[in-house]
Structure 1
């Protein structure tokens, strides 16, 4: 039976992001809780991140540095499986080639839950809707249905032993607030999340302001989710893809 997202931690999770650090801002505290409960979590970063950063001295070799930062941040929340597609930062598109690699990773990991950036623009804070973020969400959405579960989509993957697979749940992070329908209580994991974000040192010209703002957002998420005063939460738009409520083929 497909995992119900409120009953138990998932066994396998695959997380997609446009850039190194996107996951840590969007979902790292939730992921830390899952790995602590025994979940195996994999990351797939779609771009090389070389258009980010604020310091000229970091420009040479920035893509390699950002990979190192992401691997370090992942380790802080219990994730050791991190892959990078290396698409150009700022130019990500849901092309056939990108979809093929996303389908490949889904079939390799065979997750209970896929996490992805959201394909819809958020007007409450436009920074959440970097064009690469939207492209990530669109590519993952196209891959998760129908491509990953269709044996006739990318038949070369099927021929290589990467069998079609039905993903039960898709969790979006970083999307429009009015679509969020899941608030995960991450109280006690705030410092872990902050440490994971701070591992991306090339991206933070004002670490103190960033940390304060992240804590404010976590408290605001908890308030919107109806949690008690003083709690912290991460927020998601959860979509059932193949559950007891869905009908195959429709």
Structure 2
């Protein structure tokens, strides 16, 4: 019960002074997205409405969970192995509700996740295998009191996306397995202290709640009606506005090494890189990474 109250209080949806929803990603057609988080239920609380919306628009969405949440209980009757099995099944059910195509469990111990080269390599491998256009994860650098696993996965994902997954000489053993380097185009950071990308999820809140309810081991027996009531109370305490899930958006620029044709003068590659970066601003505020 205490865990649910703590998580609910920090759901990253905003309905008060939040700006209007940002321009939707995937305007030219469905994309492939990968949500990479630390524990079962992280994604449903963070971005369940966004994932439901993406799946409803024909996107292909994959989940990667670094741990199986094997420490997430106050019930002394559970072993870590028993709890992990329960929480993995809960996560699979939540994915079915949302429309997620596949969930991958990396099996790291809950509470001991480290943003080391091993974890980064696992993430790079999956990015090269599934080749997502968009990746969503925790903001590993947000200030304040937060879970060490959330920080670790957020940092590891960022380090995997830039530059490791893009450059073939990082983890070259992947090429021997037929996994080529890959460019991720967009990174969305959940739980950010300064979100600048806002997804209108009002039409998908019931689906989000249904997915959260799949994680019954974490809810202290709360019902859908109770969840909805808590949500409505939260909304009533805010000013009128749209219901959104909010993220920090990072647009990953293509490297000049990638966009420059072989043998082309350096200035040609520079012009192409500049052209590729035009029009990437969400109200001109999202950050870019590249080089």
Q: TM-score range by the shorter chain?
A: 0.7 to 0.9
Q: Name the SS of the counterpart of 1:63 in structure 2.
A: helix
1:115 to 107, 115, 136: 136
8 Å CA contact 1:15, 1:44 repeated in 2: yes
Distance 1:145 1:218, change over 3 A: farther
Report the Cα offset of residue 235 of structure 1.
0.7
Report the Cα offset of residue 248 of structure 1.
8.7
1:164 to 171, 177, 181: 181
In 1, Cα distance between the equivalents of 2:60 and 2:26?
18
- Unaligned stretches of 5+ residues in structure 2: 1-22, 255-275, 279-287
- Provide, for residues 46-103 of structure 1, a one-character-per-residue CA deviation record: whole Å limited to 9, x for no partner: 0121010233344460001110000000110001300000111001001111111100
Residue 99 of structure 1 corresponds to 120
1:184 to 199, 202, 218: 199
Report the Cα offset of residue 210 of structure 1.
5.1
Q: Name the SS of the counterpart of 1:108 in structure 2.
A: helix
**2:66 is the counterpart of 1:49:** no
In 1, Cα distance between the equivalents of 2:76 and 2:116?
31
In 1, Cα distance between the equivalents of 2:111 and 2:28?
37
Q: Number of residues paired by the alignment?
A: 236
Residue 14 of structure 1 corresponds to 34
In 1, Cα distance between the equivalents of 2:43 and 2:202?
18
- Provide TM-score, normalisation by structure 2: 0.74
2:104 to 67, 83, 87: 83
Q: Name the SS of the counterpart of 1:61 in structure 2.
A: helix
Distance 1:212 1:104, change over 3 A: farther
2:251 to 228, 240, 250: 240
- Provide, for residues 184-203 of structure 1, a one-character-per-residue CA deviation record: whole Å limited to 9, x for no partner: 10112111111111111111
Distance 1:136 1:182, change over 3 A: same
- Structure of larger gyration radius: 2
In 2, Cα distance between the equivalents of 1:135 and 1:79?
24
Between 1:145-154 and 1:209-218, the stretch displaced more is: 209-218
8 Å CA contact 1:170, 1:238 repeated in 2: yes
Residue 270 of structure 2 corresponds to none
Residue 231 of structure 1 corresponds to 242
8 Å CA contact 1:170, 1:240 repeated in 2: yes
Distance 1:27 1:4, change over 3 A: closer
Report the Cα offset of residue 5 of structure 1.
2.6
Between 1:203-212 and 1:101-110, the stretch displaced more is: 203-212
In 2, Cα distance between the equivalents of 1:197 and 1:77?
10
8 Å CA contact 1:71, 1:80 repeated in 2: no
8 Å CA contact 1:219, 1:233 repeated in 2: no
- Unaligned stretches of 5+ residues in structure 1: 224-228
Q: Name the SS of the counterpart of 1:85 in structure 2.
A: strand
Residue 140 of structure 1 corresponds to 157
In 2, Cα distance between the equivalents of 1:92 and 1:216?
35
